[in-house]
């Protein structure tokens, strides 16, 4: 479901379904991570009211990002369902409804993630000497990555939208869990050894998480 966030001089956070969107209004000082938490807490309420709301057309987004670079989706002629990149334009064909076009965009980004994220993880694993048993892509709505006790690293495909430095931070974070299955001082020291500015990268991810989750 697309989510729009508006910042207003107010004391309370409001949530409503309107115009084919989940609309969240919040005071300027509330961090995006807190808004994401509220959305997760109200998931059942949102799902119920979304199903009850009149069907609305959801237009193509003005832009999506790939490795932090904006690309501009445009509808294209053609019967075959496809997304074709031409410079900074993404031509979306074969999908009649805007919601279907958005779904095609999400599938295209997920395919790009499948090409990039496992290969990048392998490169960083060699560099850090923290070798996972397997790398998988995930579709979680509330986390960017995970690492199991068996050494399986999972990465959210939406990370492909973020700048490379940001996805690198998430990868290093999960690889560090291969050595420390916690968030102890030793864990953060290991992350810092391979990603000295990890705090700035983590802050960027928190600030932009709603944008990255808007698609798919």
Residues 157-216: tens digit of each pLDDT: 999 999 999 999 999 999 999 999 999 999 999 999 999 999 999 999 989 988 888 887
**pLDDT attached to residue 57:** 44
- Tell me, yes or no, if the pTM score tops 0.85: no
Do residues 162 and 208 make contact, with C-beta atoms less than 8 angstroms apart? yes
**pLDDT attached to residue 19:** 63
Q: Under CATH, to which class is 112-212 assigned? A: alpha beta
Q: Where in the chain does DSSP place strands (E)?
A: 3-7, 14-18, 21-26, 64-66, 69-76, 82-86, 89-93, 134-138, 145-147, 152-156
Average pLDDT, the chain: 89
Domain spans in the chain, listed from the N-terminal domain onward = 3-52, 64-110, 112-212
**pLDDT attached to residue 177:** 98
**pLDDT attached to residue 112:** 97
**pLDDT attached to residue 98:** 72
**pLDDT attached to residue 3:** 82
**pLDDT attached to residue 99:** 76
Tell whether the model's pLDDT for residue 56 goes beyond 50. Answer: no
Tell whether the model's pLDDT for residue 16 goes beyond 90. Answer: no
Q: Pick 112 or 11 by higher pLDDT.
A: 112
**pLDDT attached to residue 55:** 47
pLDDT, tens digit, for every residue of 76-113? 887 788 999 999 999 988 766 777 888 899 999 999 99
Nearest to 67 by CA among 109, 118, 122: 109
Nearest to 50 by CA among 17, 83, 75: 17
Number of neighbouring beta carbons within 10 Å of residue 151: 15
Judged on CB neighbours under 10 Å (0-12, 13-18, 19+), 182 is: exposed
Distance (Å, whole) CA 32 – CA 10: 16
Tell whether the model's pLDDT for residue 135 goes beyond 90. Answer: yes
Q: Which residue matches tokens 């479901």?
A: 1
Tell whether the model's pLDDT for residue 58 goes beyond 70. Answer: no
């Amino acid at each position: 479901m697309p989510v729009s966030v508006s910042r207003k001089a107010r004391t309370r956070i409001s949530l409503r379904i309107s115009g084919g969107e989940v609309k969240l209004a919040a005071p300027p000082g509330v961090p995006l991570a807190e808004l994401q938490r509220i959305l997760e807490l109200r998931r059942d309420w949102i799902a119920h009211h979304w199903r009850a709301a009149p069907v609305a057309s959801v237009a193509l987004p003005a832009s999506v990002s790939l490795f932090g670079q904006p690309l501009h989706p445009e509808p294209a002629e053609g019967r075959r369902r496809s997304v074709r990149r031409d410079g900074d334009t993404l031509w979306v064909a074969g999908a009649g409804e805007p919601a279907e076009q958005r779904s095609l965009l999400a599938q295209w980004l997920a395919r790009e993630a499948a090409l990039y994220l496992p290969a990048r993880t392998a490169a960083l694993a060699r560099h850090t000497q923290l070798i996972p048993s397997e790398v998988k892509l995930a579709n979680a709505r509330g986390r960017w990555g995970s690492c199991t006790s068996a050494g399986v690293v999972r990465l959210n495909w939406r990370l492909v939208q973020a700048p490379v430095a940001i996805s690198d931070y998430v990868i290093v974070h999960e690889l560090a869990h291969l050595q420390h299955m916690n968030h102890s001082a030793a864990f953060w020291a290991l992350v810092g050894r391979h990603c000295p500015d990890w705090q700035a990268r983590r802050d960027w991810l928190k600030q932009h998480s709603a944008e990255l989750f808007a698609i798919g």
